[in-house]
């Protein structure tokens, strides 16, 4: 009779060799996987900005060209439908703030156009709770920043709207209201011309040097500036923003930008690549 077959197992050296090969393959694949993940997050971020613009455009068509007022209402210490020249509430969205009608944050104004038609406007607490969930929260959150930082969308005098979480900063030159200045369009998207050059929103962080943390690029005294002005003039010479509003780590020193005409670009966070208009030409 033949002797029984004996099954030979792997030796320690063979096992170590296989493990080493697997480790090398993982090391080679990891950078590619990281890059692929970052590219996918950037694409979703760009899609968010397009959706925000589409919602803004649709709202403007239904509200006489107006998206929503946002930013510091300089010259209007007590913003309300009457003081914002909107007594019939046909331009902007409002909510009840302890018995006073106040302009709502941008997210609340765009919520019905982003699939959330159940935002309560009877109090600041209910409004904030409703826009901080569902489709609105998702669209205003960059996937590379899973926990967006809360910032102020609109304020006037001593009054402040509730702080809302967002991954994106807006151009106050387009959405801002100031009387009697003409350097802010009061939320009228149709006047943002040339629309292919005027930035509407970007990846951004709240302004760290302000306690309230505004999430807006501010207009300049001259009415003109670029993202590069904001990046290189952190001392406020141009008052267009500060370098702390840029988030270099979110997309690896790149940022997504949507322009007033709806097209999206990815810009390198470098002054020479940020020469695009935040505000309207004079």
What digits encode the pLDDT tens for the residues 158-179? 899 999 999 999 998 899 988 7
- The C-alpha atoms of residue 128 and residue 23 are separated, in whole angstroms, by 48
Q: Convert the pLDDT of each residue in 80-103 to its tens digit.
A: 999 999 999 999 999 999 999 999
Whole-angstrom Cα distance, residue 248 to residue 225? Answer: 20
Q: Assign 199 a pLDDT band (cuts: 50, 70, 90).
A: very high
Confidence of residue 253 (pLDDT cuts 50, 70, 90): very high
Is the predicted pLDDT of residue 230 greater than 90, yes or no? no
Range with top average pLDDT, 23-32, 92-101, 141-150, 224-233? 92-101
Cβ burial, residue 209 (10 Å; 0-12/13-18/19+): exposed
Residue with tokens 């005294």: 221
- pLDDT for res 61: 95
- Residue 128 pLDDT: 93
- Tell me what the mean pLDDT of segment 4-24 comes to: 71
pLDDT of residue 185 exceeding 60, the answer is yes
Distance CA 168, CA 242 (A): 15
| H helix or E strand, kind and range, residue 160 | strand 159-160
Q: Could you tell me which residue, 75 or 137, shows the higher pLDDT? A: 137
Q: Would you give the DSSP letter of residue 198?
A: B
Q: What is the pLDDT of residue 243?
A: 81
Domain ranges of the chain: 13-273
CA–CA separation, 241 and 160 (whole Å): 19
Q: How far apart are the first and last CA of the chain?
A: 102
Q: Exposed, middle or buried by CB within 10 Å (0-12, 13-18, 19+), for 52?
A: buried
pLDDT at 5: 57
């Amino acid at each position: 009779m033949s002797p029984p077959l004996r099954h030979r197992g792997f030796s320690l050296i063979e096992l170590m060799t296989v493990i080493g090969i697997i480790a090398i393959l993982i090391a080679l694949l990891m950078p590619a996987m990281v890059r692929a993940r970052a590219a996918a997050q950037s694409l979703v971020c760009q899609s968010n900005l397009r959706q925000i613009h589409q919602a803004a455009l649709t709202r403007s068509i239904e509200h006489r060209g107006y998206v929503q007022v946002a930013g510091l209402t300089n010259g209007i210490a007590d913003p309300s439908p009457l003081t914002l020249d909107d007594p019939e509430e046909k331009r902007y969205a409002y909510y009840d703030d302890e018995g006073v009608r106040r302009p709502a944050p941008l997210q609340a104004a765009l919520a019905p156009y982003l699939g959330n038609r159940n935002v309560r406007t009877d109090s600041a607490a209910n409004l904030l709770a409703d826009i901080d969930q569902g489709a609105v929260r998702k669209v205003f959150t960059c996937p590379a920043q899973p926990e967006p930082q809360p910032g102020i969308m609109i304020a006037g005098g001593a009054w402040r709207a509730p702080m809302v979480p967002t991954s994106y900063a807006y151009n106050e030159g387009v959405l801002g209201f100031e009387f009697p200045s003409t350097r802010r369009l009061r939320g009228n998207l149709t006047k943002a011309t040339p629309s292919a050059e005027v930035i509407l929103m970007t990846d951004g962080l709240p302004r760290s040097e302000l306690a309230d943390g505004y999430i807006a690029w501010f207009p300049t005294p001259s009415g003109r500036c670029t993202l590069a002005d904001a990046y290189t003039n952190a001392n406020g010479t141009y008052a267009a923003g500060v370098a702390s509003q840029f988030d270099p780590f979110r997309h690896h020193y790149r940022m997504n930008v949507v322009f007033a005409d709806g097209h999206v670009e990815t810009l390198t966070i470098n002054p020479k690549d940020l020469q695009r208009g935040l505000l309207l030409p004079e």
